[in-house]
């Protein structure tokens, strides 16, 4: 085990996979000479050269299409979206081309492609640069969608994503790049896609949360523990395929659930998690499941308004108290 930042863990995953498999290459805006807008690809150009660390013009749709075409011929592209907000320009390539190629070709052409970069609420970046982007992707059959919350997950899941035979949307977070944690040194360490993890064991209520919201829920759980409440926290890690089993098992144990989501609540991830909990564990529930979501407004710039946009600790605590006292 080594202690490293989330950013370093991603960088290490890229290096290890590029060393392991010559078909893997990195492509995107500012990934080479500039070393990545968020320094995730730092040093890669030096180690692997221009052939495998490819700076592109500002053309998300174009270079994503290049990735898909290269994958059809057997390469394993890892594309960086400078931030995931810009991935919407490549939405057609991702949704209509990458995700459906295997199906439309009757199994002839799979697309082993990773599209990675930061997304989600960031610090005062305002409406166009600070939003939960997973919503645009996890609806689509043919895509896998990962949201890694810790440095170890970042490394283990990115390596699995690169080795996967399908297009994987891998959304990191600007706000987590500097988070430190223990990361296994073993270059064969991977975390399978589609496995949730229990971050904190508890007996009174299950809280489902990922990325920044997971950390916020952990803080709330510690505070509520002082009041004698025992909160279990489950982090799905992969949103598609979703490990419903780990979440439902936890709810069967605690009989109560709160689902947290940073993005706007309407038709969000929280709705989906809430519905499978209700479908599969209704009889085990002692209270209606609560959802705590981002507000249904674009992200404001002003710090005070920005704080109101995403679920606060107070709102999370209130929801937990509500289901526990029901």
Partner 1 sequence: MAQAKTTILSPRLDAVLARRLLGQMALIRRFEEKAAEMYALGKIGGFLHLYIGQEAVAVGATSTLRPDDYAVSSYREHGHCLAKGSDPRRVMAELFGRRDGLSKGKGGSMHLFDKSVNFLGGHGIVGAHLPLAAGAGFAINYQGGDQVVLCFFGDGAVHEGEFHEAMNLVALWKLPVIYICENNRYAMGTAIHRALAQTEIWRFAETYGIHGEAVDGMDVLAVRECVGRVVERARRDKTPALIEARTYRFRGHSMRDPAGAVYRTREEVEREKQRDPIALLTARGLKDGVLSEADVRAIEQNVADAVDEAVAFAEASPEPPASFLFTDVYKD
Cite the active site residues. Answer: 60, 129
What 3-state class would DSSP assign to 18? helix
The interface region with partner 1, picked from 30-38, 54-62, 288-296, 306-314 by CB under 8 A, is 54-62
Nearby residues of 189 by Cβ (< 8 Å), 6 or more positions away: 155, 156, 159
Alpha-carbon gap, residue 189 to 156, rounded angstroms: 6
Q: How far is CA 211 from CA 54, 119, 193, 199, 298, in A?
A: 29, 10, 16, 12, 19
Instruction: Determine, following the binding rule CB under 8 A, whether residue 97 of this chain makes contact with partner 1.
Output: yes
The residue among 108 and 304 lying less far from partner 1, judged by its C-beta, is 108
Alpha-carbon gap, residue 87 to 35, rounded angstroms: 19
71 and 112 Cβ atoms separated by less than 8 Å: yes
Residues in the chain, overall count: 326
Using CB under 8 A, pick the residue from 5, 85, 93, 246 that binds partner 1.
93
Instruction: Determine, following the binding rule CB under 8 A, whether residue 83 of this chain makes contact with partner 1.
Output: no
The interface region with partner 1, picked from 8-16, 37-45, 96-104, 147-155 by CB under 8 A, is 96-104
Q: How far is the CB of 123 from partner 1 (least distance, A)?
A: 31
Distance of CA 255 to the CA centre of its chain: 27
Positions 15 through 34 that interact with partner 1 (CB under 8 A): 25
Instruction: Determine, following the binding rule CB under 8 A, whether residue 138 of this chain makes contact with partner 1.
Output: no
Positions 139 through 178 that interact with partner 1 (CB under 8 A): 141-142, 144, 165-166
Instruction: Determine, following the binding rule CB under 8 A, whether residue 92 of this chain makes contact with partner 1.
Output: yes
Positions 258 through 317 that interact with partner 1 (CB under 8 A): none
């Amino acid at each position: 085990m080594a202690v490293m930042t989330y950013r370093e863990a991603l960088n290490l995953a890229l290096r290890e996979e590029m060393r392991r498999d010559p078909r893997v290459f990195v492509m995107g805006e500012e990934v080479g000479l500039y070393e990545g807008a968020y320094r995730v690809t730092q040093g890669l150009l030096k180690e692997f050269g221009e052939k495998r660390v490819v700076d592109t013009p500002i053309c998300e749709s174009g270079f994503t299409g290049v990735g898909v075409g290269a994958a059809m011929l057997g390469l394993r592209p890892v594309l960086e979206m400078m931030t995931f907000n810009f991935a919407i320009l490549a939405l057609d390539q991702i949704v209509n081309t990458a995700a459906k190629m295997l199906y439309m070709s009757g199994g002839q052409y799979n697309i082993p492609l990773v599209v990675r970069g930061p997304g989600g609420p960031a610090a005062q970046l305002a409406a166009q640069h600070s939003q939960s982007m997973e919503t645009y992707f996890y609806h689509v059959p043919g895509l896998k969608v990962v949201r890694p919350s810790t440095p170890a997950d970042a490394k283990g899941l990115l390596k699995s994503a690169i080795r996967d035979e399908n297009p994987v949307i891998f959304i990191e977070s600007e706000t987590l790049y500097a988070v430190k944690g223990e990361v296994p040194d073993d270059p064969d360490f991977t975390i399978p896609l589609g496995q949730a993890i229990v971050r904190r064991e508890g007996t009174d209520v299950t809280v489902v949360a990922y990325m920044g919201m997971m950390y916020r829920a952990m803080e709330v759980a510690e505070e509520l523990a002082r009041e004698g409440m025992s909160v279990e926290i489950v982090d799905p890690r992969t949103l598609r395929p979703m490990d419903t089993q780990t979440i439902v098992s936890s709810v069967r144990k605690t009989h109560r659930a709160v689902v947290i989501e940073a993005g706007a609540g309407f038709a969000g991830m929280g709705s989906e998690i809430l519905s499978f909990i209700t479908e599969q564990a209704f009889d085990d529930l002692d209270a209606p499941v609560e959802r705590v979501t981002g507000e249904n407004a674009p992200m404001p710039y002003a710090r005070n308004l920005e704080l109101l946009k995403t679920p606060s600790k107070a709102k999370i605590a209130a929801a937990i108290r509500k289901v526990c006292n029901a």
